[in-house]
Structure 1
């Protein structure tokens, strides 16, 4: 009742702010802010982070945000993320006899004239500009973290204006922005507290701009990344090495960087902990120095190296005793001897990923199993020479393993999975794709022994059937995510077992399963009320009735993919849209969407195929 709000009037602002800090998600905070104007004002006052996708009139949008959220310190702009606009409301009817021409259209008609129509979607072709950066600098002078991802209309002029006012900047990500040397030099001149800098795909930069920035931020810079910048060479890295003594992380993706630049950074930056390189002209000679000097190195990722062999990997194993995270991707000249050296020397290893290294086989991974007991994550992708005995050794020696990824590993089958499941009972995430020798026995062992499992994916493993999912449903009651896409032997029995045994399920992908029908969807609705994401594309026996039974119970559903389901019609699509108040995305054929559904939920509809 009005005038009876005694509790809210007595709450001090500090306590209300504490309430907002304890809320675990943005939607929850947004909902709480609607209690009253006071709570709304305090929530805006307390917000520190903004995430912005591509939107119409971005310059005006940034100005509006600066007025509403004055204490924001982190802003992330990513123009790869599109924002759909709702279709415009019909124009207001003019009263008979009225001579006021302005009444013939809605108040926002002038804005909509700037929009272009394509079907039922309205978008404006625009991008963040220098004017927006100036508005951002004026509205958020205390900003500390700024990401501008693929903002092509931002230039040195805007960056220079921002750097002049935002002197507290600590992290700057300019991925895909066409900024030049002048803007980068201004950042170095004014932003003396900058710690993290990402210059991936920043065309137009040269050594001159990078060197100016490095000289200005030398006392604070801890992380530096460059990719696909043809005019950034070893000269920049030599300056980094000479001045940035606090540097801890280096990311390089360039064919213009050679041993000289990498060696200079390694020798000059004694605190280096993370090194990610995709440099075709860097050789074993550079990694010999890494092994000799980088005693603090914890993360090493090497991608597509053409001149890196076991010699370099042996140097890493010999010297980098603190290495915890190793990624080897498309390093064709590394074999088991190099991985054995890593196993013997880097006993603190907790994560290893081997991707497309075709000369690494069973013997190398067996050495990891024998020597690295702290391993918690293992990823093997396109490793054709690794066999079952390798995972037997992993199961025997790596009892702390929690995450396992297997993709296109033809030599790994059920016996390997049984050994992993028996030995690594703390497994929480198992992701398997196109491993055709893994079938029911392996998945049954996971269901029987891995009681803490929360994520299971067995995509396109055509030997996995219902009996495997029955075991998972009985043993893994904590399961939250399941993906059995393309496992054509799985039908109603298996998915029903999951529905009855896994009440915490939130994500389910049963696409391309031809034996799934409406009864299964009804059981999912009864047993898995927390379901948020559902993919049932290419399920030919699912109908509107099954969808109706599902959404009547799964009120938290946020995404639903149902393309190429011939028995689902516009009625089913309308049922999903109208019944699920949290729905954010529906993927469907355009021909199955009625005009009413387009008007009602145009912003959440995505189409696999559009009319030409």
Structure 2
């Protein structure tokens, strides 16, 4: 939040306090113009702050509603009705997000619910009342998916709509999209991921929404070349971003139209087994302003990617997934032609070797992000060139790279002084020497995630604790050589906020107690599968880390209700607690979590440990790893 927002927030807080002290005698409010209050609401950085400030008086509440420009709807009963209810209160909405993957659960309620609220405000508390009223008046019941009627309501109510996101809205059809296209001609961004939309709906967008810039059609299985071609012709001058995945009826013909008409295209995400060289060549030749290219096309070969290197000189991000038909020649072309490349992801590209990575490293010296995942022919020498050439590298991820050894990271440590994030997964040849080199050279490191790198032990992590004073995230999953000594060093030198030591069997009470005493800003902790961890450590965490929001203690056999109670009574901000397969934790411990943590959103535990009373109080936040044990 900028300085102006801070100033306006102070004004609001001072004014609210003044009103409270004057016991209802308001001397300031009449003198404040609506424009000033609207500007204050515009600058506030969170919904919580806006909601709190809107409670000053009815005038402020109405002005806050006028200033609101975004609504979000998850998967819940009667989304069509929710849209209508929201439209009554918020008339200046420009952004609507509907995501039916996300469930909206009621918050934990302690005590009886107050009656008599405004039935038309669609909150989680009084929406059920509105549902009952609608049903009693003959409304449709049992609907859990947004329909064409809901889309029509969006079009009728929000005619100034600029962004619309419909994620996995399975009941939406072309008819609903046509109504949106006709009524919301100012639409600039549309996400239809997982919607079964046909050519008629997409064609209507091309005819009516001539300002459309961003379009996501991933998993729109009803779409064919005819619809996408009509869209490309209609929106070609403005379209900047296009996403396609699992659209079996989309072929090279569509991409040829995109290349011919969408000259301003900057981002293309393409996942298809039906696209060949012809389609990618057309885009590369026609869309010279392309900055972001993500490809997962098993039938595309070197010819297409070489064209990208030749024609797309503005390319900044390239991600290649599951390519088995191109070689180092492609990366050599990228290194030669794409000098502005900043991010490169290579995943399961089996025929790439150190030669290709060397070409990119020496040719694309502005590289900031590099991920190498499952490219089994890339080894130490390729990474050495990255360390020598890419001085701006800030994030490096090496996943399932068995041939990359310690010396590669030694070069990274020497050359990449700005490295802030390092991710290592199943890199069996990387050990303590590599981590020591990173710690000594990359003192700005903020994130270190290591998983199943069995050669990494105390020596390397101690070096991190001694050198990386900005480290806030540390994950050491199943690194069995890391013990308490390493965590003690980290606690003394790093301001951790996120710690995951799941499966590090040598870590016990001493290490976690050191973290509790040295890292008061900790918000996330995963200590699952630590067999030597006891209640003492839990009590220390409660005393030392009051900001904890997420805790995972599953498979910790020595933690009991006593330790859990100490933890949750002090950590009142806790939102998530996972504690399956902890034999010392009983139904009483689960009840303690529910009663002490008023902000809790998720509790994962065995079903038999949840009493009927706990289910009644917080059934919506409890989930079960195993239903019956």
TM-score bin, normalised by smaller chain: over 0.9
Are the structure 2 counterparts of residues 582 and 503 from structure 1 closer, same or farther at C-alpha, using a change threshold of 3 Å? same
Moved more, 293-302 or 123-132: 123-132
What residue number does 2:79 align with?
58
What residue number does 1:514 align with?
531
The CA deviation at 1:294 is: 1.1
**Deviation digits for residues 388-444 of structure 1 (CA, Å, limit 9, x no counterpart):** 000000000000000100001001000000000000000001111111111111111
Is the partner of 1:277 in helix, strand or coil?
Answer: strand
What residue number does 2:430 align with?
412
Q: Is 2:332 the counterpart of 1:311?
A: no
CA distance, structure 1, for counterparts of residue 448 and residue 234 of structure 2: 46
What residue number does 2:5 align with?
none
Counterpart of 1:565 (choices 546, 557, 582) is 582
Is the partner of 1:6 in helix, strand or coil?
Answer: coil
Is the partner of 2:326 in helix, strand or coil?
Answer: coil
CA contact (8 A) 1:473 1:498 kept: yes
Moved more, 350-359 or 518-527: 518-527
The CA deviation at 1:5 is: 3.2
Runs of at least 5 residues in structure 2 that lack an aligned partner in the other structure = 1-21, 114-127
Aligned residues: 590
Counterpart of 2:70 (choices 15, 24, 49) is 49
What residue number does 2:283 align with?
265
Counterpart of 2:296 (choices 278, 282, 307) is 278
Is the partner of 2:570 in helix, strand or coil?
Answer: coil
What residue number does 1:102 align with?
none
**Deviation digits for residues 436-495 of structure 1 (CA, Å, limit 9, x no counterpart):** 11111111111110000111100111111100000000001x211111111111111001
Is the partner of 1:552 in helix, strand or coil?
Answer: helix
Are the structure 2 counterparts of residues 160 and 524 from structure 1 closer, same or farther at C-alpha, using a change threshold of 3 Å? same
Q: Is 2:452 the counterpart of 1:434?
A: yes
What residue number does 2:572 align with?
555
Q: Is 2:400 the counterpart of 1:382?
A: yes
The CA deviation at 1:11 is: 3.6
Runs of at least 5 residues in structure 1 that lack an aligned partner in the other structure = 93-106, 116-122
CA contact (8 A) 2:241 2:265 kept: yes
Counterpart of 1:23 (choices 40, 44, 61) is 44
Q: Is 2:213 the counterpart of 1:195?
A: yes
What residue number does 1:475 align with?
493
What residue number does 1:505 align with?
522
**Deviation digits for residues 215-262 of structure 1 (CA, Å, limit 9, x no counterpart):** 111110001111111111111111111111111111110111111111
Cα RMSD of the aligned pairs, angstroms, is 2.3
Is the partner of 2:193 in helix, strand or coil?
Answer: coil
Counterpart of 1:40 (choices 57, 61, 71) is 61
Counterpart of 1:166 (choices 181, 184, 193) is 184
CA distance, structure 2, for counterparts of residue 462 and residue 114 of structure 1: 58
CA distance, structure 2, for counterparts of residue 158 and residue 71 of structure 1: 21
What residue number does 2:622 align with?
605
The CA deviation at 1:37 is: 2.7
Is the partner of 2:449 in helix, strand or coil?
Answer: strand
CA distance, structure 2, for counterparts of residue 55 and residue 263 of structure 1: 44
Counterpart of 1:128 (choices 140, 143, 146) is 146
Q: What is the TM-score of this pair, normalised by structure 2?
A: 0.90
Q: What is the TM-score of this pair, normalised by structure 1?
A: 0.93
Is the partner of 1:179 in helix, strand or coil?
Answer: coil
**Deviation digits for residues 495-523 of structure 1 (CA, Å, limit 9, x no counterpart):** 11111111111111111111111111111
Are the structure 2 counterparts of residues 209 and 37 from structure 1 closer, same or farther at C-alpha, using a change threshold of 3 Å? same
CA distance, structure 2, for counterparts of residue 384 and residue 502 of structure 1: 34
Are the structure 2 counterparts of residues 5 and 608 from structure 1 closer, same or farther at C-alpha, using a change threshold of 3 Å? farther
The CA deviation at 1:139 is: 1.3
What residue number does 2:228 align with?
210
CA contact (8 A) 2:242 2:268 kept: yes
CA contact (8 A) 1:87 1:599 kept: no
CA distance, structure 2, for counterparts of residue 494 and residue 13 of structure 1: 56
CA contact (8 A) 1:55 1:124 kept: no
CA contact (8 A) 1:114 1:124 kept: no
CA distance, structure 2, for counterparts of residue 441 and residue 362 of structure 1: 22
Q: Following superposition of structure 1 onto structure 2, how do residues 22-421 of structure 1 map, counting pairs within 5 Å?
A: 22-84=43-105, 111=132, 126-421=144-439
CA distance, structure 2, for counterparts of residue 592 and residue 256 of structure 1: 50
What residue number does 1:119 align with?
none
CA contact (8 A) 1:53 1:83 kept: yes
CA contact (8 A) 1:343 1:372 kept: yes
Q: Is 2:596 the counterpart of 1:579?
A: yes
